[in-house]
Amino acid sequence: MSKNNALNRLNLIQDHISQPTGPIDLANERSNASFNVEHMYWLFCGSKEFAKALSDAYQMIQRDPDLYIPGGHSFDMTQPQQRELVQRQIFRYQKVHKTLKDPLLCKALEFAMCNYSEAYSMRTYVHNTLFRQSIEFFGTKEQQDEWMDEVLNWRIIGCFAMTELGHSSFIRGLETTATYDRVHDEFIINSPTLTATKWWIGMAGQTATHTVAICQTIIDSESYGINWFVVPLRDRKTGHLLPGVTAGDIGAKFGRHGLDSGWIQFSNVRIPRKNMLMKWSKVTEDGKYISPQNPAIAYTTLIGERLTVLTGTQNALGKALTIACRYGCVRRQSVDDGQIMNYQTYYVGLVPCVASIYVINVVDRIIKIQWEELIKQIHTNQAEFLKNVTDIHALSSGLKGTITWWGSEMLESCRRALGGHAYSAYNAIGPAIGDWGVNTTGGGDNFVLLQQTARYLISSYEKMVQGKRLSGSVEYFNNIKQFSKIVKSDLLNEEQLYDMKYNLDMYTWLIGQKLQYLFSILSQSQEDPSVTWNNNQVSLIRLSELYSFRYCLSEYIQALSNYQNSIPEFQNLCPILTKLGQLWSIHLIYESLKEFLEEGYFGKEQANIVKNAYFRMCKELRKEIIPLVDSWGYPDFVLQAPLGKFDGDVYKEYFNTVRAAPGCIGIPSYWEDYIKPLTDP
């Protein structure tokens, strides 16, 4: 560096100290918006009304001394302090919730609390989704009448005991038993081996009074498969474990420290026969077992669990991206003191991720509506429910596996974007990575889930080959042979790639090629089918990923068409939403270039066209990166990261946070014993 350049650099640093440039930089970035940020916030929330309710809910939290995290930073709390805080928030929320008369505000407050606290979200998720929905899905009307009022009002606190020390995604291999005693009309719950210990059970460590335990059903020494049983764990007044129940905390974890993950062992625990949830499977008083109409029923609760990943992705990754993008526009580096967001390596790593959140937001709303409609059929048309549940089970498994793996990669992109500052827990990215990791294994390991999806895809393709008409998420298989006739791409210029349907067709072609190839291998192999499957496992999992991404793109294209006929505020957002969809669809092609080249579909020049279009779209949307993340509406207190401050004055806030940390300044407790003897002359 020359003397003049060094002097210029020192002058720039002095300017930063005397007058922070962050607020000016973010103000300039916000002036680049080609769309109305408030209207985009409405769309992201699903409606203007919910957006208003959500803003009100955030304000309620910030003003409430029990819902709001007290002075200091949550990352400085010990594990016991975090757990007490979260349970206090739940206790307070239940009281506040009962006073609210507006259903929309009630919904918004719950949503806002889950955005605010990952630990709160997980505790309420275990109780409200896993435990409660198990009773709703698998319990008879009489059982729901007995349990649901206490569940809804948290007079009993539930957990979901599926996974075991030696078993997780292979549910049929679970070892915990429920043996029917017809003399006393009771089931005896047992953990017959060490590996049968229920393991990684959220809220079992300290909190839950009851669990829905998945057990092998034994009648007269014969196993009838798995079923769901409501088992009391703790005395509701004293908190003491009930006779025959041994449970404890799982100990130190990689993340989610506010959730008391635990383990449970059952030793001859007796429960009434009526505690077996019997909507689909039944055991009569005389010990007769009545099987469910469809084995897929056993996975119903898990479908809803897996679909919640879409909402969780928007929250966890949306916050991380907001922090990384704001920091990238505030941080200035190099001789010319430019914003690091302007480096191609920086914005290409983040802009497609921002586009992805918008796609996931749209898909989340669509599939939730489909799932809610399907759930209604449990009560109104069970035959129709059983007809459709297999498709959405495969789709939920594919989306969960694909999006959580992608989310891990995206969080790593955010970590890199913050450089060394990402190593500080106060900037939220590190803790987010710790909290996120379990999503790739919890609720079903991704490798297993994506194979479930692959089996459905291969089975559906076989039906299509046999001349059967397909529907649901694989309806396009009916026309996939038309795509297989295409040998080479007709891609000639970048403009073609701005047509999302054109990119969708290319993606469909790739899926068709993989389907045809894998079906041929699996159906013609002379070796053990399990061996053939295992030898092609990587390709089968990739097929499921392609299917899941294609579903998202297809639904986004349809949603854009609907927005064009929506309220004027949403119609006016279509140009920027179209750009986001264009980028994401090109991103899918870009990420699959290797496969397109291997198949001979693309030549070298066509691959270059894809790369050039991809980088061009990233650069174009980089200009609006701050308005795009602002539209998600996360207040500073929810982000909990100084480097993500809305006003851009990040360094002052960051320094003050560090300065206020416990033990920041002072003599350490070990000085006298281990430092003074070394340094005292």
Q: Annotated binding site: which residue ranges?
A: 163, 202
Distance CA 621, CA 348 (A): 10
Binding-site residues for FAD, please? 163, 202
Q: What angle do CA 484, 477, 563 make, to 5 degrees?
A: 110
Distance (Å, whole) CA 444 – CA 173: 14
Would you call 425 helix, strand, or coil by DSSP?
helix
Pair type for strands 177-181 and 210-219:
parallel
How far apart, in whole angstroms, are the C-alpha atoms of residue 336 and residue 594? Answer: 37
Q: Output DSSP code: residue 128.
A: I
Non-local (6+) Cβ contacts of 244 within 8 A are 189, 266, 267, 268, 269, 270
Residue 439's alpha-carbon distances to 310, 410, 428, 446, in angstroms, are: 11, 14, 18, 9
Burial 421-452 (b: 16+ CB within 10 A, else e): bbebbbbbbbbbbbbbbbbbbbbbbbebbbbb
Look at strands 210-219 and 158-161 and give their pairing. parallel
Pair 400, 303: CB distance under 8 Å: no
- Sequence letter at residue 486: I
Task: Report the C-alpha gap between 422 and 447 in whole angstroms.
Answer: 29
Nearest CA to 215 out of 261, 283, 147 is that of 283
Rounded Cα gap, residues 514 and 539, in angstroms: 8
